[in-house]
Structure 1
Amino acid sequence: MTPPPAPGPAASDAADRAAATAVARTAGADVPEGVVLLGVRHHGPGSARAVLAALDAYRPQAVLIEGPPEADVLVALAADPAMRPPVALLAHVVDDPARAAFWPFAEFSPEWVALRWAAKAGAEVRFIDLPAAHSLALRAPTGEEPAPPTVPEGVPAAPGAGPGGIDVRVDPLAVLAETAGYDDPERWWEDAVEHRGGADEGDPLAPFAALAEAMAAIRALHGDGGHDQDPVREAHMRLRLREARRAYERTAVVCGAWHVPALAGRTAVAADRQLLKGLPKAKVETTWVPWTHRRLARASGYGAGIDSPGWYRHLFTAADRPVTRWMTKVAGLLREEDLPVSSAHVIEAVRLADTLAAMRGRPLAGLGETTDAIRAVMCDGSDVPLALIRDRLVVGDVLGEVPPDAPAVPLARDLAREQRTLRLKPEALDRELDLDLRKDTDAARSRLLHRLVLLGVGWGEPARGRDGKGTFRETWRLRWEPELAVRVAEAGIWGTTVASAATAKAEDAAAHSGTLAEVTATAEACLLAGLPDALPVVMRVLADRAALDTDVAHLAAALPALVRAVRYGDVRGTDSAALGEVAEGLALRICVGLPPACTGLDADSAAAVRAQVEEVHRAVALLPDPALRDRWAAALRTLADRDETIPGLLRGAAARLLLDDGRLDAEQAARLMGLALSAGTGPAESAGWIEGFLAGGGMLLVHDEKLLALVDGWLGGVTAEAFSDVLPLLRRTFAEFEPGVRRTVGELARRGPSAVRRPGGEAAEPGLPGFGTTLDPSRAEAAAHTVRLLLGTTTTTDLGTHGDGGADDD
């Protein structure tokens, strides 16, 4: 690129004088002629304003920015009107997309301001940090480092970086704040930089000279103290800086303030090249991806030490009176939530914030003062509205946008096309999506979301649907996170479209599944995701595994998912006949093998099998073959009738399932309970039977006095020594009852023989506590009339009796 023409003589002289002033103030550092080093705090609005003022004053022909050189080809997109920050540069290894790094840019990032300025001024832009090909190759392979992708330390800021976001183990801002007498580096930074306003209008480069001098002093005192890659990175920066000096008369460098002394010092070219010699290298790809304020504020992954990106954005964009404008935003938010906030509240909050700032010796009210004022004036001292303000304003849910023509892997382009077609716009805010699978668009949305889940792209997760809406309803909770771009790049190894990639991933998952349950889960996912091409492969693996697996526990764990898959296939119009045949075969084998598999189990194993038995019971009820349901009932009856070789927990659970299905009447249930609670059965075994039998709910004891009498009589006969052993089991069982059921059972037991029919006795006071023993015809008629009105069966006689003005009008 041919360098743009230099500005006029007056502007050039002014720029040269400003540059000379900056050089003179850099603590003796030998800054090359024609270069200004703009040391910044990454994502600092004060640094961003200072960079903009310095670039306007110096008018460089080239702007060098700390970042991966592979992104030089993407610089032009920064000037695209469709590019809206926050955004991030993404670099990933082609053969291992999980090895990736982000370089985020917010609207208030100095690097982003420099990019925009250079695009407007026609200046050359180059990224000068260590190439991503080297920094990513220096990382361990993903198989050895399962941690999620993060920014390489110091590029431009690292996980665990200090509050300044500067990539060093010695936090320079903390050192400077302590030197200035502050115990909070953030507060010092706000007072020294963010609230300076136009204090340096006479010399826009003065703040950078002062910060460079401070960093030079800290590095001289503490040593380089940075990350292990810092010497290599700074060597590469110096080489790129030398190249720019040979091509341009005026060059500006925007980098982390920590690196300024290293770039200003004299170092031999050969020494720098020696540091870079022999570095590992990987093939990488780069692109722009959307980013979020919430991701900037996150402590894990790429946090950069920014606790309040929404507040920082406000400070950068508010032309004047930032506190007043902030209070107005807060008031608007609280009003949207129907909280009573008036203009008088705003006025008083601004006055209080200014007063607090003056009392604390601050040049301007910061986030702490505004928060205290909002709590006192607008929130009546409550922290509940403050949590909303922090979530919506201090952090914010801003999601950036990237032009459609930005480079992307084919899978990402296909996903973007699907999102546009189905009108599913990625959003940073949590969103619930209700789908009606009978509609073509909603069914297609469901297939897309299920395919992404299969690929490990967690854009949405299934949520519990609304009760009573049927199986054709589906609810998703959606939230787009920036790192999903890496997941999409990772999934690109499976195919170039979402459908083909999900198909290949499903086939591979089935072939490498460790258990039969995992294969059935994959089969279910194939039906939910609408992957007919993958289903035959998965079915072959499923049939082979099912034929060879003889463990009833494995079969029981696999059946529920398989039956759900058959059902979902019907809802979505998918042919699932083959799955139905396999499900019926698994159910038959479970019926045959269940009783022997339940023999001689300990307490923990019995509890696990009980949960599986209940799952299989629900699954068999959904299968269409009545003969299969009869076989299952016979297996349960075998369990219920067996002796103590089968744990009482399982025998009681089997009896309850049969009772609920109407395959066991009350007399038969009472006989089984009587046997389980007889004197010849140990107390612990009897308590286990009770736990299994009553797990379905306690209303049975309320309505069946005979069963309650059996339990009450057995419990009254337990010895004192055994009572302490059975009490925890009984408390756990009765704790699962609803409060009203527990209260009623307790009342019936408290009333003793008059309310509970003992074996061989009669109840003197039938009925429930609080209810009469006989029917009151007049009160019953009033209730019956209301029921007839609801059912629409009211007759003319009824209206005459209970109509307007009637004596019995209710």
Structure 2
Amino acid sequence: MTGTDRAGSGGAGGPRGAGEPGGRPLLLGVRHHGPGSARAVRAALDAAQPGVVLVEGPPEADALIPLAADEDMRPPVALLAHAVDEPGRSAFWPMAEFSPEWVALRWALEHDVPARFIDLPATHTLAWRAADDQEDGQDPGGRPGAASPDVRGDPLAALAAAAGHDDPERWWEDVIEHRGPGEGGVLAPFTAVEEAMTALRETDDGADDGEEGGEESGARGAADARDLVREAHMRLQVRAAQREFAQGVAVVCGAWHVPALRRRPAVAADRALVKGLPRTRVEMTWVPWTHRRLSRADGYVAGIESPGWYGHLFAAADRPVERWLTKVAGLLREEDRIVSPAHVIEAARLAETLAVIRGRPLPGLSETTEAVRAVMCDGSDVPLALVHDRLVVGDVLGEVPAGAPAVPLQRDLARIQRRLRLRPEPAERELELDLRKETDAGRSRLLHRLRLLGVGWGAPVASRSTGTFRETWRLRWEPELSVRVAEAGVWGTTVLSAATARAEADAVTARGLAEVTALAERCLLAELPDALSPVMRILADRAALDTDVGHLAQALPALVRSLRYGDVRGTDTGALAEVAAGLAERVFVGLPAACTALDAEAAEEMRGHVDAVHTAVGLLGDAPAPGHGDLGSRWRAVLRTLSARDAVPGIVRGRAVRLLLDDGGLAPDEAARLMGRVLSPGTPPSDAAAWIEGFVGGGSGGGMLLLHDDRLLALVDAWLTGVPADAFTDVLPLLRRTFSAFEPGVRRSLGELVRRGPEARGSVTTTGAGIPGFATALDTERADAVLPVIRLLLGRDSAPDDDDLVGADT
């Protein structure tokens, strides 16, 4: 049932003479999450009417069993155990509606019969896990059967192979899932599979006797020893229940354990095995689970391949195939595929025909899947993949009642989720937020605070709007996030207090200045005023001591971005602006010296810093800090200094010229003069190529610049054709990287212009208007073509006269 349980793949156990008051216990060996096992367990309990039901699971959860009957409890759910001193160390025991353990618990509650868990306590299981992590970073308890995958790791596969089947899932369906109610007696499936499981264990024990040493056998021995301890503890619990309840004892456990529970070694021997085990303090609760997390695809060792299908088999009272195909048809119709009732009828007939041909009692998942592919999906695997994802596996998310034990932080999070109407959902979805609305602003605060706490419920993605009042999040709730919430509970009892304490601690332990500035940005986004003040003090101290211009340039953008959020979030960003302006001043002073004597890699990195500082200074112009003057003018002076120094790498000089040109700090004629000087014969080709990379490379729109300015293109063309042959192979990789970053259409147009030659190129790009790329007069025919689009944008339903749009202020 858990990551610490290897019995999840087993089959059954037998009830020889069991169920009688004072007699031997009724051992019901099951496959975890098997609907056939679940139905058989319910039928066996109805027939035996035991005085107590014992279930494989941690005894610390006995007090949580009554919550299974709560009307707000909806499986799939899981028992969660975590270490009190280290909440991240945890274990889960998942249960679905079709899990035999869940059925046994519900039967006991409905019949007012005591129910107890009898597996090894979680206090020992988690202590073992901690010891394993310290020894070798592995988790043997979380790798059931890893030492012997042929039998212990997957008894179901071994049983299927022994019966001559190559597909364990299909064999299990035929033997258990398709068995009719009462077919062969209610105990027949348990008896049959127990006998096979007993033979498997005897075979495996014989293999152990002849096994030689080595790393694999050592790991196997450790896992086997822990299984022996678990089974000894379960036997002790069964004996105690037999003494207490004269009406009879029923045990529901993984089939692998049944032969061991059937044996009756001395009590003293069992007590000796469980004596002196390591311990750790644990807490337990119920948490929501999902069908997807029950699947083997997610690495759950006791998982199943098709939880959605198994849930359907358990819930469908009759005609399961027809009902399943109807679900599939409904899903495909929702995706705009044409599926009629005739398709459902034909698919059902095909599935039944395939089952007959293959000698199966009923159509299984493989037959229904092939019928759906052939009839409803026209042989395509694309819609079939959707069926597998949405129905065969599924995204069902369970619910637990509000009265379930939880850390205070979890309770506060649940309260906020209800208030903001932001329910956890297992399916991934995008959430658009308008921060001008109170509810959306609250959702944004919550998601940012949870990210600070390491609870990755939501991840920010690029928004379709460039406004700072818009945010887009991609949300998906995973059951493991419950562990992250419990782990974050050490920082505080509420989301606000925990996020504040975590931010302050992260600021103290941050290794670099850029980490502190990024943290300040996150504090602003999460609206943590009590954390922002100490973070800003640490930031100011770190900035004062850091003399590395690269570090300062890395730190500045995140800090300046934070200023954009002040107005929409109502946050005072005065302190941020002051520190950001101070960082910018220090970058201005140190950047020219830092850009000298750099190799190619360092120069490329510095080019990125120059771009980031340029963007940051542009944003700072909207929120100037008192006492720092016009930062924009001073930054342009720094760029002019960089563009004129021969000691500065070409890629940085070229970028400085381009930034000045884009901001109007440099006339086009002056830019062409600088380029012409760099591309003169006296400049080494490698330096000239780097200058071109800085000027037009990096995805900065340089291709369009060359396309519409014939003078610049002619300079580059003339220089490139004059590069000596022995130097051309050296500059080719850099030039190829530069021009390959252009859009395909831009590259194609540039190639056409170069092919036409200088004379034709001039007639195309430079016209009588005196502006490169523009004609002398308006092209009215092309302008008329966009009028319908403009009317649509302006919201005009009727077709107005053309004059209505002439001179309109749009």
Residue number in structure 2 paired with 1:576: 573
- 2:672 aligned partner, one-letter code: A
User: Amino acid of the residue matched to residue 180 of structure 2?
Assistant: G
Runs (5+) with no aligned partner, structure 2? 1-12, 209-219, 806-810
How do residues 204-603 of structure 1 correspond to structure 2 at under 5 angstroms?
A: 204-223=186-205, 227-249=224-246, 250-468=248-466, 470-603=467-600
SS of residue paired to 1:534: helix
Q: Deviations over 1:481-530 (max 9, x none)?
A: 10100000000000000000000000000000000011111111111111
Which residue pairs with 1:629 in the alignment?
632
Distance 1:637 1:146, change over 3 A: farther
Equivalent of 2:43 in 44, 53, 59: 53
Do structure 1's residue 197 and structure 2's residue 180 form an aligned pair?
Answer: yes
Task: Work out the CA distance in 1 between the residues paired with 2:707 and 2:802.
Answer: 39
Distance 2:316 2:170 in 1: 20
CA displacement at 1:271 relative to structure 2? 1.1
Give, in angstroms, the shift of residue 277 of structure 1.
Answer: 1.3
Cα deviation for residue 800 of structure 1 reads 9.9
Deviates more, 1:336-345 or 1:137-146: 137-146
Letter of the 1:591 partner, please give it: F
CA distance in 2, matches of 1:616, 1:84: 53
Q: Judging changes above 3 Å, is the alpha-carbon distance between structure 1 residues 349 and 788 closer, same or farther for their aligned structure 2 residues?
A: closer
Note the 1:65-80 alignment, pairs <5 A: 65-80=55-70
Q: 1:183 corresponds to which letter in structure 2? A: D
Residue 213 of structure 1, CA deviation: 1.3
Kindly provide the amino acid, as one letter, of the partner of residue 35 in structure 2: P
Alignment CA distance shift 1:298-1:800 (3 Å): closer
Alpha-carbon spacing, 1:197–1:721, altered in 2? closer, same or farther (3 Å): farther
2:92 alignment counterpart: 102
Deviation at 1:781, TM superposition (A): 8.0
Using the TM superposition, give the Cα deviation of residue 774 of structure 1 relative to its aligned residue in structure 2, in angstroms.
Answer: 6.8
Indicate conservation of the 8 Å contact 1:709/1:756, yes or no: no
TM-score w.r.t. length of structure 1: 0.89
Q: Distance in 2 between matches of 1:665 and 1:461?
A: 43
Contact 1:595 1:635 in 2 (8 A): yes
CA distance in 2, matches of 1:88, 1:279: 25
Distance 1:59 1:784, change over 3 A: closer
Cα deviation, residue 432, structure 1: 1.4
Contact 2:461-2:472 at 8 Å conserved across structures? yes
Bigger CA drift: 322-331 or 740-749? 740-749
CA distance in 1, matches of 2:26, 2:132: 40
**Preserved contact between residue 659 and residue 665 of structure 1 (Cα < 8 Å):** yes
Deviations 1:705-725 (A, max 9, x none): 110000000011012222222
- Count of aligned positions: 762
CA distance change for structure 1 residues 465 and 783 in 2, over 3 Å: closer, same or farther? closer
Distance between the aligned counterparts of 2:784 and 2:110, measured in 1? 82
Cα distance in 2 for residues equivalent to 1:762 and 1:573:
52
Letter in 2 for 1:498: V
Q: How far 1:467 moved relative to its partner?
A: 2.9
Letter in 1 for 2:381: D
SS of 1:138's equivalent in the other structure is helix
Alpha-carbon separation, structure 2, partners of 1:727 and 1:544: 46
Give the aligned partner of residue 188 of structure 1.
171
- Structure 1 residues 366 and 552: CA distance shift in structure 2, 3 A: same
SS at match of 1:23: coil
Cα 1:170–1:296 shift into 2, 3 Å = closer
Q: CA deviation at 1:742?
A: 1.1
Q: What residue is the counterpart of 1:686 in the other structure? A: 688
Distance 1:146 1:492, change over 3 A: farther
Going from structure 1 to structure 2, the CA distance change for 1:487 and 1:776 (only over 3 Å counts) comes to: closer
Residue 638 of structure 1 corresponds to: 641
CA pair 788-55 structure 1, distance change in 2 beyond 3 A: closer
Residues 54/366 of structure 1: CA separation in 2 closer, same or farther (3 Å cut): same
Instruction: Please list the CA deviations of residues 331-355 of structure 1 after superposition, one character each: whole Å capped at 9, or x if unmatched.
Output: 0111111110000000110111111
CA apart distance, 1:402: 0.2
- Once the 2 structures are TM-superposed, how far is the Cα of residue 325 of structure 1 from its aligned partner? 0.7
Residue 254 of structure 1: how far off its partner (Å): 0.4
Contact 2:82 2:88 in 1 (8 A): yes
Q: Which amino acid aligns with 1:666?
A: P
Q: Partners of 1:335 and 1:788 in 2: how far apart?
A: 37
Distance 1:787 1:209 in 2: 75
Of 725, 731, 745, the match for 1:726? 731
Indicate the SS of the match to 1:517.
Answer: helix
1:440-477 CA-partner distances (Å, limit 9, x unpaired): 11111111110000000011111111135x11011111
Letter in 2 for 1:496: T
Q: Deviations over 1:338-389 (max 9, x none)?
A: 1100000001101111111111221111111111110110000111111111
Q: Which amino acid aligns with 2:203?
A: L
Q: Distance between the aligned counterparts of 2:446 and 2:515, measured in 1?
A: 21
In structure 2, what is the equivalent of residue 17 of structure 1?
Answer: none
Q: What's the offset of the Cα at 1:755?
A: 2.6
Distance in 1, matches of 2:237 and 2:787, equals: 91
Give the secondary structure class of the aligned counterpart of 2:129.
coil
Q: Of the candidates 169, 176, 182, which is equivalent to residue 159 of structure 2?
A: 176
Per the alignment, residue 216 of structure 2 pairs with none
Deviation at 1:161, TM superposition (A): 9.9
Distance 1:734 1:800, change over 3 A: closer
CA contact (8 A) 1:94 1:284 kept: yes
Of 74, 78, 97, the residue aligned with 1:84 is 74
Cα distance in 2 between the residues matched to 1:678 and 1:503 = 59
Match of 1:133 in 2: 123
Secondary structure at 1:285 match in 2: strand
- Say if 1:753 and 1:763, in contact at 8 Å, map to a contact too: no
Alignment correspondent of 1:23: 16
- 1: CA distance between counterparts of 2:750 and 2:395? 51
- CA change 1:429–1:161 in 2 (3 A) is farther
Q: Between the two proteins, what is the percent identity of the paired residues?
A: 65
- From the superposition, tell whether residues 525 and 104 of structure 1 become closer, same or farther in structure 2 (CA, over 3 Å): same
Q: What 5-or-longer segments of structure 1 have no aligned partner?
A: 1-19, 804-810
Structure 2 contact 640–657 (Cα < 8 Å) conserved: yes
Q: Is the 8 A contact 1:687 1:729 kept in 2?
A: yes
Check the 8 A contact 1:292/1:400 in 2, yes or no.
yes
The 1-side partners of 2:98 and 2:278 are apart by: 34
Residue 639 of structure 1: how far off its partner (Å): 1.2
1:570-610 deviation per Cα after TM superposition (whole angstroms, max 9, x unaligned): 32001111111000000110111111111121222211221
Cross-structure match for 1:5: none
Do structure 1's residue 750 and structure 2's residue 755 form an aligned pair? Answer: yes
Match of 1:735 among 725, 733, 740: 740
Residues 26 and 251 in structure 2, CA contact (< 8 A), matched pair in contact too: yes
Seen in structure 2, the aligned counterparts of structure 1 residues 783 and 138 have a Cα distance that, compared at 3 Å, is closer
CA contact (8 A) 2:521 2:561 kept: yes
CA contact (8 A) 1:335 1:341 kept: yes
Residues 61, 251 of structure 1: 8 Å contact kept: yes
Instruction: Report deviation, 1:299.
Output: 3.3
- 1:398-422 CA-to-partner distances (Å, cap 9, x unmatched) read 0000000100000000000111111
**Could you say what secondary structure the match of 2:346 adopts?**
helix
How many angstroms apart in 1 are the aligned matches of 2:779 and 2:386?
A: 56
Closer, same or farther in 2 for the Cα pair 1:381/1:568, shift >3 Å? Answer: same
